[in-house]
């Protein structure tokens, strides 16, 4: 057991994993994310930080996920996961950025010492870390750099390599490892335990109901394909997948014209499914690390594409939970609420506000998850399809101690308990969320068309504008209003006022040097026009070359 900082070992490994010159790293809403070829030094240093984080928490297991989620295949990234499967505590995000940007080995060693001092960390405290990666070609080399960091700081056994798996599985492993044998035991800490837990809950919830029709699942040519294949073995005869976009061998296919982000941003069917979807038949898309979910179908009257995004999922799930809580005789004893971001469609917000409390927070899972924890049952889904349901300790205790007085109350209570097992409350989970949606649809006997008819989305458009420095764009009011650059918000307001049911906001991307422009309006044409006009304002403000101004922005 080490009693002093292993400075010589850190120095040796740091020289092996030197920081590239003139590159600045920022730990954003999804950790570090950029071209995979730039991340060697960051991975080594995050291995060190993960070990320090575990030591700071008395040896609790910390998670490290190597992924760039929905980004192109050339990108990669890394994020740390705290003991209950939640995102890294915000104060430690600054430590991550602090270590990642040390220009030299001497500066890195000094910064490590500063983190130890500020965190009151005992370097002799054992540390435990579990890590995994997605299917990106750069992943193996980056994991090797991460492992050097874990070894250098003295993580027990050099860490637990969970291999190639989904982000939700990694979060699950962290939570189950830390809760094993406690009153908060979350399940068996293994990938097999994850599948078995979901399968058992699914079978219980579908018992006595007609089996859902086989579901087409677009796996984005990513690790979700492995997850679907592994889980399918646990639910044979109960639930059937028809996986597509499962090519993990051909270079360049990950997230390329496939996956949840493609469906959301292009608002169209992935090309691999063109001509393969029958009218009214629903399908779903995962993203590259299987933590986002998007549903879609072809209208059975017009054969037009219809998207069922995170807002639609939130409305479906929240409504079902309200009904179950009432049917269980627990109305007034469990507070339900929904958390959204500014990207939520205005129609979804109005629909939900008539049924239960709705709160708007800044973009980013850490904000949504924290706000959801304030409710007895908190539902959060970003419009991009990332989300989950959080149950408070008090709610879990109440469900397990509740004494129903009628058969209806008994069934509703049992369903709620099984839902706490089906839902991966640690993080957004495309597989778990898909099963949740299918259970609700089966319970209600809904088709995709009936689900979609709950409310009509306002037409909307999301546009990305590349900028030299995204840090110049600062917001307030849960990111719905710009405070800087000064004067830009007033110009946006003037444009929005020209459109019926118009709404638009601008925020800096959390993952790349870009600004995202969102717009809604009463018609598709108006929403597109408003989005591009606002994008034009941003382009001009950023000093874009007028000669190269995209024609859509005019």
245 annotated binding-site participant: no
Model pLDDT for residues 434-480, shown as the tens digit of each residue: 999 999 999 999 999 999 999 999 998 889 999 999 999 999 999 99
Closest of 38, 70, 534, 499 to residue 286, by C-alpha? 70
Q: Tell me whether residue 508 is annotated as binding.
A: yes
For residue 33, give the 3-state DSSP assignment.
strand
CA 85 vs CA 69, 178, 234, 426: distances in Å:
17, 9, 24, 5
Task: Classify residue 6 as left (phi > 0), alpha (psi -120 to 50) or beta.
Answer: beta
- Is 456 assigned to a binding site? no
Q: Are 130 and 81 contacting, i.e. CB atoms less than 8 angstroms apart?
A: no
User: Residues in the chain with pLDDT < 70?
Assistant: 1-3, 511, 554
Q: How is the chain split into domains, by residue range?
A: 7-164, 193-307, 310-452, 460-553
Strand pairing class (336-340; 377-381): parallel
Q: Residues 332, 334, 339, 344: is their CA dihedral positive or negative?
A: negative
Helix and strand counts by DSSP (H, E) for the chain? 18, 19
Q: Summarize pLDDT for 324-382 with one digit per residue, the tens.
A: 999 999 999 999 999 999 999 999 999 999 999 999 999 888 899 999 999 999 999 99
Question: Is there a binding annotation on residue 516?
Answer: yes
Tell whether residue 106 is among the known ligand binding residues: no
Task: Quote the CA–CA distance of 376 and 426 in Å, as a whole number.
Answer: 15
Asked if the 7-164 domain carries CATH number 3.40.120.10, the reply is: yes
Which of 69, 285, 425, 504 is the catalytic position?
Answer: 69
Distance CA 309, CA 302 (A): 20
pLDDT for residue 1: 36
The CATH number for 460-553, chosen from 3.30.1370.60, 3.40.309.10, 3.40.50.10330, 3.30.310.50, is 3.30.310.50
Task: Tell me the β-bridge partners of 297.
Answer: 282, 306
510 is in an annotated binding site: yes
Across the chain, what does the average pLDDT equal? Answer: 95
- DSSP label of 405: S
CATH numeric code, 193-307: 3.40.120.10
Q: Residue 550 has what pLDDT?
A: 85
345 is in an annotated binding site: no
**Cα separation of 388 and 419, whole Å?**
11
Q: Which residues contact 209 (CB under 8 A, 6 or more apart)?
A: 442, 443
Which tokens belong to 417?
């308990």
Confirm whether residue 22 is marked as ligand binding: no
User: Got the DSSP string for 513-529?
Assistant: SEEEEEEE-SSHHHHHH
Give CATH for domain 310-452: 3.40.120.10
Q: Which of 266, 292, 270 is nearest to 283 (CA)?
A: 270
Is position 511 annotated in a ligand binding site? yes
502-544 pLDDT, tens digit per residue, is 999 999 987 678 999 999 999 999 999 999 999 999 999 999 8
Q: Is 41 annotated as a binding residue?
A: no
Q: Is 285 a catalytic residue?
A: no
Q: In the prediction, which pLDDT does 424 show?
A: 96
Q: Please report the beta strands in 415-545, taking only residues with DSSP state E, as ranges in sequence order.
A: 460-466, 474-476, 481-484, 503-508, 514-520
Q: Is 484 annotated as a binding residue?
A: no
Contact 283/252 with Cβ under 8 angstroms?
A: no
Write out the two tokens for 185: 């035991």
261 is in an annotated binding site: no
Give the number of other CB atoms < 10 A from CB of residue 502. 18
Q: Does this chain's domain 7-164 share its CATH topology with 193-307?
A: yes
| 384 marked as part of a ligand binding site | yes
């Amino acid at each position: 057991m080490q009693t002093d900082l292993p400075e010589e070992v850190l120095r040796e490994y740091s020289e092996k994993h030197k920081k590239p010159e003139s590159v600045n790293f920022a730990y954003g809403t999804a950790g570090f994310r950029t071209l995979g070829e730039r991340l060697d030094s960051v991975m080594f240093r995050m291995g060190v930080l993960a070990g320090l984080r575990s030591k700071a928490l008395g040896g609790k297991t910390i998670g490290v996920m190597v992924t760039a989620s929905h980004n192109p295949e050339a990108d990669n990234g890394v994020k740390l996961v705290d003991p209950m499967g939640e995102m890294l505590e915000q104060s430690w995000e600054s430590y991550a950025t602090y270590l990642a940007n040390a220009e030299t080995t001497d500066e890195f060693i000094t910064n490590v010492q500063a983190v130890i001092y500020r965190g009151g960390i005992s370097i002799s405290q054992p540390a435990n870390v579990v890590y995994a990666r997605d299917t990106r070609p750069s992943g193996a080399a980056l994991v090797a750099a991460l492992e050097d960091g874990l070894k250098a700081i003295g993580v027990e056994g050099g860490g637990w390599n969970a291999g190639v798996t989904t982000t939700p599985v990694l979060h699950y492993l962290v939570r189950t490892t830390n809760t094993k044998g406690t009153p908060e035991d979350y399940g068996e800490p293994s990938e097999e335990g994850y599948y078995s837990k979901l399968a058992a809950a699914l079978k219980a919830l579908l018992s006595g109901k007609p089996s859902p029709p086989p579901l087409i699942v677009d796996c984005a040519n990513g690790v979700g394909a492995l997850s679907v294949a592994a889980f399918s073995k646990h639910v044979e005869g109960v639930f059937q997948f028809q996986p597509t976009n499962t090519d993990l061998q051909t270079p360049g296919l990950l997230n390329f014209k496939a996956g949840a982000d493609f469906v959301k941003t292009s608002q169209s069917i992935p090309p691999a499914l063109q001509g393969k979807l029958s009218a009214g038949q629903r399908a779903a898309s995962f993203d590259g690390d299987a933590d986002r979910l998007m549903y879609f179908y072809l209208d059975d009257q017009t054969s037009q594409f219809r998207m069922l995004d995170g807002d639609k999922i939130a409305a479906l799930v929240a409504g079902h939970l309200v009904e179950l809580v009432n049917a269980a005789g627990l109305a007034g004893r469990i507070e339900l609420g929904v958390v959204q971001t500014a990207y939520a469609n205005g129609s979804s917000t109005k629909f939900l506000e008539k049924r239960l409390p709705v709160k708007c927070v800044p973009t980013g899972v850490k904000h949504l998850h924290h706000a959801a924890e304030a409710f007895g049952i908190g539902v959060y889904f970003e419009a991009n399809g990332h989300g989950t349901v959080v149950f408070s300790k008090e709610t879990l205790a109440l469900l397990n101690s509740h004494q129903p007085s009628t058969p209806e109350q008994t069934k509703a209570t049992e369903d709620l308990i099984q839902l706490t097992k089906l839902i991966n409350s640690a993080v957004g989970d495309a597989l778990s969320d898909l099963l949740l949606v299918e259970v609700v649809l089966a319970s209600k006997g809904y088709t995709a068309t009936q689900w979609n008819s709950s409310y009509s989305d306002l037409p909307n458009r999301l546009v990305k504008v590349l900028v030299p420095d995204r840090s110049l764009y600062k917001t307030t009011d849960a990111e719905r209003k710009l405070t800087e650059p000064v004067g830009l918000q007033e110009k946006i307001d003037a444009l929005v006022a020209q459109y019926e049911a118009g709404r638009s906001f601008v925020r800096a991307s959390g993952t790349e040097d870009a600004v995202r422009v969102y717009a809604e309006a009463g018609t598709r044409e108006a929403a597109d026009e408003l989005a591009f006009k606002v994008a034009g304002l941003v382009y001009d403000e950023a000093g874009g070359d007028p000669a190269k101004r995209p024609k859509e922005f005019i």
